[in-house]
Amino acid sequence: MHDLVQYFREKQLENSTETTLKTRCPYCSMQCSMELIEERVITRNRFKAKPNKLDPTSEGRLCIKGLFAHQHAINDERIQYPLMKLDGEFVRVPWELSIEMIANHMKSLQKEYGNDSIAVYGGGSLTNEEAYLLGKFARVALKTKYIDYNGRFCMSAAASAANACFGLDRGMTNPLSEIEGAKCIILAGTNLAECQPTMLPYFKRAKKNGGKLIVIDPRETLTAKQADIHVKITPGTDGLFAVGLLKVIVEDRLVDHNFIVEKTNGFSEIYNMLEQISYHTIAQVTGVAIETIYDVARMFAKAETGMIFTARGVEQHANGHENVRHFLNILLATGKVGKYACGYGAITGQGNGQGGREHGQKADQLPGYRSIETEEDREYIASIWGVTADELPRKGVSAYELFEKIDRGEIKALFIMGSNPLVSNPNSVFVEQALKKLDLLVVVDMFVSETARHSHFLLPCTSYLEDEGTMTNLEGRVVHRQAERKSPGETKHDWKILCDLAEALGVQQGFSYDNSEEIFNELRVASKGGKADYYGISYEAIKAEGVFWPCPEAGQETVRLFEKGFYTKDGRANFFAAEQLPTVEPILANFPLLLTTGRLMEHYLSGVQTRRSKQLAQRCLEAYVEIHPRTADHFHIMDGELVRVSSLNGSAIFKAKVTEQIREDILFAPFHWGDLQGVNRIFPALLDPYCSMPQFKKVAVKIDPILNREQNRDYQSITR
């Protein structure tokens, strides 16, 4: 008897162990670090996330998503074994067999239709190592030119604008710590209070120090609530608003002449552009009062220091590139760049949105921000990869355009790692049709996402708790993510899956690594001499704090960019003069409202992860559309009622949320849901000619109640 008691006591002690895992939140670009304490009590595990007080970026903060991030990783719905579609159902297959079947199918398609009949689609959640390897896998193992990634929808407008203006795209030109010194800050189309919540205190500190905050957003967001001036702009007209600001700055002679003469090109062409347009037209198109344009311009230009931040509200338009260029013009005209508390920030979105766009997932890019169309770059990367430059494919097409090629039968197989394109692409009904035409769809994910449902093979990857690697945060700081939790079931790291598949495709050389650090060391060499030079960064160096790129040698990080000049060929930054400025668009009689989209604090992107985190999901279970009370009255819509929002392209169904925090002519819906609540059913694919960014932030729509009053009451009582 005594022995038995002893036995159970020991068992209980054994079962109530506590482990502390050091990790980083898998969600946004702040990449907040934390300790996750996992306590095993008998059969239950209890988790507690504790922020890391020494983290120089988060300064020891975590937002609600970070606190509960582990809930998706430990969710029962995680797929733990490779699955194959058989007679319309997923069945479990051994890894070796699934890899062999995929490789054989890919080889036979390439034999029949050529190497470019297979496309690869990546994501900004992948570590630097995996993003790098995915690019190498596409070009060396599959030898296809078709690779692109979800960052196309995220960073492409800001990246192409910064490259054209400064010759370099690193989201933020200055570290977050300098924000507190900025005397005037423009936040254009960012809702960072909900999207990068742990970043908000930096701006609050700037305000405390006497800095002014200007927020440009059609909605009264949590961010806008912090503003000294909230500019409630008409969606899609930010570029013109910025032209208005520049017009005031030039006319009031508030420009920095020395800076313009010494460090820039193209200022003289700006005059013609400014003469083309009157304040009256600018006010009419943007919906912003002329006085506000004057106030903002003077406030910014006269401030001793100042910074401009843009995010998707400005960038996700068919003229997103130009919108950003017009804001950059203001920085150049006032000489507010390359100095303390003066600079630009494209607020990167995804956890590794920054690193993910530097190392080769993009259709035209090679590692280190090299170009796949530049001979010298091709030669260099080919030498690292053990192939000849001639063997490297040329550039492919952008993410959405891949689906057009699939629809036309030019691409027969698609390999997706880290994205849910069926929910996140514009024109999603078309995307679904295209997916169904594929001979082979392979998805690597943790869950059966909306896209994965259509896959022929679904390969289970490890989560952030299990997969070590590096991420580059929104400051351009390369950080290390520890991940020591045991991988569940037969899940594998993304990089390992790529290696196994490359081998099965007959390409062993260059695809055998023992750990992520080995891949990173190859990436360092591949990026050496490139714009995004990581050569001087090592795992050892970033274990504590992280290092800012470019870092050509150990100890030579670049914390603030452009102090000595720009990265363009002549070292000067380029002004941008638009040939044509936007004018008032006619309101379509049948589609009298504008729909815009974005995010909620508690959900992340297509929602695959956060909809599976109990504590996050329960805060908002269902998609809704925000509508102003007067507009709701006009269209006979009640709060909580089910409505159909339709454009010329398609419709989706939401619950109506009547709120005064939105303009009367605008609706807003988050994009964290799929199927009937997928907002991208409504959006056509209008792509920016400079960067192929789709227009996610503006479409003309109408709104109708979909049930009669009585049915609606029933529905509400069911869902309440």
Ligand X SMILES: Nc1nc2c(c(=O)[nH]1)N[C@H]1C(S)=C(S)[C@@H](COP(=O)(O)OP(=O)(O)OC[C@H]3O[C@@H](n4cnc5c(=O)[nH]c(N)nc54)[C@H](O)[C@@H]3O)O[C@H]1N2
Enumerate binding residues for ligand X (CB under 6 A): 28, 65, 123-126, 150, 153-154, 188-192, 194-196, 216-219, 221, 233, 235-236, 238, 311-314, 316, 349-350, 353, 417-421, 423-424, 444-447, 449, 461, 494, 596-599, 601, 603-606, 608-609, 668, 671, 679-680, 683, 696-697
3-state secondary structure of 10: helix
Q: Which is nearer to ligand X, 151 or 536 (CB)?
A: 151
Cα separation, 634 vs 449, in Å, equals: 38
157-172 residues labelled b (16+ CB within 10 A) or e (exposed):
bbbbbbbbbbbbbbbb
Cα separation, 365 vs 359, in Å, equals: 7
Phi first, then psi, for residue 517 (nearest 5°) are: -65, -35
Counting contacts by CB under 5 A, is residue 349 touching Mo ion?
yes
Answer with the entry of ligand SF4, ligand X, Mo ion, none that 310 interacts with (C-beta below 5 to 8 A by kind).
Answer: none
Q: Which is nearer to ligand SF4, 31 or 455 (CB)?
A: 31
> Which has the closest alpha carbon to 279: 240, 239, 235, 236?
240
- Position closest to ligand X via CB: 349
Q: Which is nearer to ligand X, 21 or 573 (CB)?
A: 21
Which residues are registered as beta bridge partners of 459?
A: 444
Q: How many residues bind Mo ion (CB under 5 A)?
A: 2
Q: Which is nearer to ligand X, 314 or 499 (CB)?
A: 314
Q: Which is nearer to ligand SF4, 200 or 330 (CB)?
A: 200
Answer with the entry of ligand SF4, Mo ion, ligand X, none that 66 interacts with (C-beta below 5 to 8 A by kind).
Answer: ligand SF4
Torsion of CA 710, 713, 719, 720, to 10 degrees: -170
For residues 121-160, which are near Mo ion according to CB under 5 A?
Answer: 154
Cα separation, 314 vs 322, in Å, equals: 10
Q: Which is nearer to ligand SF4, 31 or 651 (CB)?
A: 31
Question: CB of 321: closest distance to ligand X in angstroms?
Answer: 14
Answer with the entry of Mo ion, ligand X, ligand SF4, none that 30 interacts with (C-beta below 5 to 8 A by kind).
Answer: ligand SF4
Q: Which is nearer to ligand X, 122 or 550 (CB)?
A: 122
Answer with the entry of ligand X, Mo ion, ligand SF4, none that 421 interacts with (C-beta below 5 to 8 A by kind).
Answer: ligand X
Q: Which is nearer to ligand SF4, 29 or 425 (CB)?
A: 29
Q: How are beta strands 306-310 and 184-188 bridged, if at all?
A: parallel
Question: CB of 217: closest distance to ligand X in angstroms?
Answer: 5
Distance of CA 583 to the CA centre of its chain: 29
Q: Which is nearer to ligand SF4, 63 or 213 (CB)?
A: 63
Q: Contact positions toward ligand SF4, by CB under 6 A?
A: 25, 27-28, 30-32, 58, 62-63, 65-66, 196-198
For residues 640-699, which are near Mo ion according to CB under 5 A?
Answer: none
Answer with the entry of ligand X, ligand SF4, Mo ion, none that 460 interacts with (C-beta below 5 to 8 A by kind).
Answer: none
Question: CB of 467: closest distance to ligand X in angstroms?
Answer: 6
> Residue 523: which region, alpha, beta or left (left: phi > 0; alpha: psi -120 to 50)?
alpha
Question: CB of 181: closest distance to ligand SF4 in angstroms?
Answer: 22
Answer with the entry of ligand SF4, Mo ion, ligand X, none that 31 interacts with (C-beta below 5 to 8 A by kind).
Answer: ligand SF4
Question: CB of 128: closest distance to ligand X in angstroms?
Answer: 12
Question: CB of 312: closest distance to Mo ion in angstroms?
Answer: 7
Cα separation, 19 vs 22, in Å, equals: 10
Cα separation, 248 vs 232, in Å, equals: 19
Cα separation, 611 vs 602, in Å, equals: 9
Cα separation, 643 vs 652, in Å, equals: 8
What distance, in Å, lies between the first and last C-alpha atoms of the chain? 53
For the chain, give the longest Cα–Cα distance. Answer: 96
Answer with the entry of ligand X, Mo ion, ligand SF4, none that 444 interacts with (C-beta below 5 to 8 A by kind).
Answer: ligand X
Spatial contact of 264 and 606, defined as CB atoms under 8 Å apart: no
Q: Which is nearer to ligand SF4, 98 or 348 (CB)?
A: 348
Question: CB of 14: closest distance to ligand SF4 in angstroms?
Answer: 33
Question: CB of 686: closest distance to Mo ion in angstroms?
Answer: 18
Compute the half-sphere exposure of residue 153: CA atoms within 13 Å on the CB side of its CA. 28
Spatial contact of 83 and 458, defined as CB atoms under 8 Å apart: yes
> Which has the closest alpha carbon to 617: 672, 542, 664, 575?
672
Cα separation, 447 vs 425, in Å, equals: 19
> Residue 360: which region, alpha, beta or left (left: phi > 0; alpha: psi -120 to 50)?
left
Q: Which is nearer to Mo ion, 352 or 527 (CB)?
A: 352
Interacting stretch for Mo ion, rule CB under 5 A, among 332-340, 343-351, 412-420, 498-506? 343-351
3-state secondary structure of 651: strand
Spatial contact of 412 and 440, defined as CB atoms under 8 Å apart: yes
Which residues are registered as beta bridge partners of 149?
A: 122
Torsion of CA 536, 540, 545, 551, to 10 degrees: 0
Question: CB of 347: closest distance to ligand SF4 in angstroms?
Answer: 11
Q: Which is nearer to ligand X, 427 or 558 (CB)?
A: 427
Question: CB of 218: closest distance to ligand X in angstroms?
Answer: 5
Answer with the entry of Mo ion, ligand SF4, ligand X, none that 125 interacts with (C-beta below 5 to 8 A by kind).
Answer: ligand X
Question: CB of 353: closest distance to Mo ion in angstroms?
Answer: 6
DSSP 138: I
Interface contacts to Mo ion, rule CB under 5 A: 154, 349
